[in-house]
Structure 1
Amino acid sequence: MRPPVPPADAPTAVLADDVSMIFNIASEQFNSLKEYFIAAAKHELTFKEFRALDHISFEVKRGEAFGLVGTNGSGKSTMLKIIAGVLEPSAGKISVSGTIAPLIELGAGFDMELTAKENIYLNGALLGYRKDFIDEHFQDIVDFAELDGFMDMPLKNYSSGMVARIAFAIATVTEPDILIVDETLSVGDFLFQQKCERRIKELVESDNVTVLLVSHDISLVERICDRVCWIEKGHMRMLGETDEVCEAYRSLKR
């Protein structure tokens, strides 16, 4: 069962206002950086415009679980990176209210040479939390990740699933205002994926946390999200109730 839908008069957590993102890509193919810089020095580089997002607008209420779906390369992750502040939009505006915990790329914000314990403090600091706050929540993070006994091991020796456990535990135990999840739940064993799904629902239901979820697992989106935005090849195809949008998206895939 999905978490309850926030009331219509709930405050806005994220507002995307006519957002576009344009990348300039070199038209030529180069076999090395040396060839690229030689062409640049001779002013022989030409670029083509790639519009990753084209005039996207939506509003996410505080306490809402909001999904983004679309085929590969449609701009979903680009939108999440703009919301997280990793990218600046080429046009339009993003307004965000509250602290953000982005789970966008596995291992982002970690130093793989440091131990798991050191990375908990490092990643917590990057999310804006003080050391004493992490001290208070450290054992909760370890317990949720189920990695007690591995804290003094360098992260480079962790599997991708173990890294995902640490990242998700830090982001959710510290209870951000906005949790951004981009396919992180697809890494690791199914039991921990179920645990993460339960935790997301608990955050939305109990702590008024806003969740932005990108996933190719449509059944996961249907279980968690109140509303869904379908972005296809940079264009917004549909915005509305989860069941309606996911059914339309499934029809495209067939």
Structure 2
Amino acid sequence: MNRTRPLHRRLLCTLVAASAIATVLATPAWAQQQPRDILASARATGVIRIANTQASPPWSMLDDKNQPAGYDVEVAKEVAKRIGVARVEFVADLFKNFVEGLKAGKYDLVMNDLTPTAEREKQVDFSTAYGLEDFRIFVRNANNDIKDRPDLKGKRIGVTAGTSNESWSRENLLGSEIVTYDNGGLVFNDLAIGRVDALISSHFGGMKYATVNKLPIKEVGPILTYQLSAAAMAKNQPALREAVSKAVKDMRADGTIDRLSNRWLGVSYQMSAEISKAERP
């Protein structure tokens, strides 16, 4: 009689059980607990998790009390209130991680100047747009050679990794070297000290960062492109998508979006009207 087989079976069962336990322990809690209905769960717990970079003013940043602040932050808080969720838990992450973070259940929404591109829409869903901005070329103050898009050929162009700035630059600046940065602030610092020749950024974001940090950089040339921004969420969450979109539409209609954009972007910019124009076919 072969007595080693029961021993082998017991050993195998022990190893399989240990492996299963290790897998559970190694899996982040947020990846194990993504509810089927995110909106219902958020209403029940009173908390919704919303991701932003907290490093891309004026959209999201940290204030003097180290708390999230900015246009997207204020919009997110108002949206949460209107969809029946008492509190927002802001989750800081990099732009390049947003889509995968949503798919993995790391957070419930992304609200940080995120453009609903065709590629992103294959992987996540978007609400009605709540923001719009134009993108420009930024160079050092002493640079008088770069004045428009053709002048970028053969130059090192800085962009934030994972943003629509990066995808646009790769599609449209084929003769340039595209240099990516995980931290959107570092690209401005590197432009100021000459590590890149120019960078592509939103008008509002670029001017805000340059002004606050007193960097010797300037905006040149005409607008390169316009891009909408909307709340992103995991696929197959129709209730969440409908609720967020309704909240945003109501905020555009009742003047809340314009009030918040005036506070963070300036009174001369009429956000709701600009969004409506950009949405027209």
The TM-score with structure 2 as length reference comes to 0.22
Greater helix share, structure number: 2
Max radius of gyration: which structure?
2
The TM-score with structure 1 as length reference comes to 0.24
